[in-house]
Amino acid sequence: MKKFWTWLKQYTILYHLVVIVLLFLGVAVVSFLAMAIGTRHSARRTVPDFVGLKLIDAKYYAGRRDLEIIINDSLHVSTYPGGVVLDQLPKGGVVVKPGRKVYVTINSVRQRMVDVPYVAGRSLRQAKNMLEAAGLTIDYLEYAEDMATNYVLAEFVGADEVLQDSLVVRAEMGSGVVLRVGVAPNEVAVVPQVLGRTLYEAKSRLWESGLNIGEIEFEEDTPVLERNRAKVYQQSLLPSADAAYGSRVSLRLTLNAALVDSMIVEEQRRVAEELRLQMEADSIAKAEQRLLDSIANANKSQQPSEPQTEDNFFF
């Protein structure tokens, strides 16, 4: 090696070029090693799924994996307790470097309070629109016999009735109000079709039809913050069926558009088949009636005419 450098020094330009190249390679190697050590290039962490955990628990598990929880936003979802994680970025299962920040959205403990409007004495549709404009919703429809169907007789917040001369009644935004609604004797509701609609749209149509909301189920892989986009693919009471006012209709929702479309097509086939069977039944009934009419006419024509008596012979 010494002889090589002695020989190389005889060529000044070539010598300096070799020295520069070696220095450049040395700097590159040192920089790479320093960067790998500083960024822990070979270290990896799998982000846990924090959704549904309390914030304190999420921070504990994140710390054990050398990750940091950062609260990015807060929402209020009534179906989840306050303080739990609703969403996160990166998602659970993603591989990251140690020290990575995980941004989470948590469920706020309480919503702000709003005034409850007085809706008794109005139609059910008007009452629903007034409640929605105030940031509230319907919790339950309670039906009582009355001469006017779907006429609001009374409203309740919890166990307290809201009266026209009551002091201002307040409730958490997004909470529900119980409405006592009238229904005339022997009247029934017609179940609307809500397949392909969002939960908000489905609830609105069912309430306007005088029906209550039963169990609501989302597919297991539906993220909490995506549920407002999910659509109904199954309803417990068939569309166009008769039901007692106040009956509950349970709903199942999904983000799978193909599943929703297939269920809508299946419902259209069911309706078409029922229509076909009804038309066949009507045709058979009409044919039977025509047959009965023809038999009656034939029997009538075969009956002998009454003989004339002497009293009316000369008239």
- Among 169, 174, 179, which Cα is nearest to 122's? 179
How far apart CA 224 and CA 49 sit, in angstroms, is 13
Burial class (CB in 10 A: 0-12, 13-18, 19+), 307: exposed
Higher model confidence: residue 79 or residue 39?
A: 79
Give pTM, 2 decimals: 0.64
pLDDT of residue 311: 53
Q: What angle do CA 268, 270, 273 make, to 5 degrees?
A: 110
Please tell me the CATH code under which domain 112-186 is placed.
3.30.10.20
DSSP H helical ranges for the chain? 2-8, 12-39, 55-64, 124-133, 199-208, 257-302
- Tell me which residue of 158, 176, 191, 172 sits closest to 267, measured CA to CA: 191
**pLDDT (tens digit per residue) in 245-288:** 999 999 999 999 999 999 999 988 888 887 777 787 777 777 77
CATH number corresponding to 45-107: 3.30.10.20
Is the CATH number 3.30.70.890 carried by domain 188-290? no
Taking only the tens place, the pLDDT of each residue in 163-218 is: 988 778 889 888 899 999 999 999 999 999 999 999 999 999 999 999 999 999 99
Q: What is the mean pLDDT of the chain?
A: 84
pLDDT at 36 over 80: no
For CATH 3.30.10.20, list the domain ranges present in the chain: 45-107, 112-186, 188-290
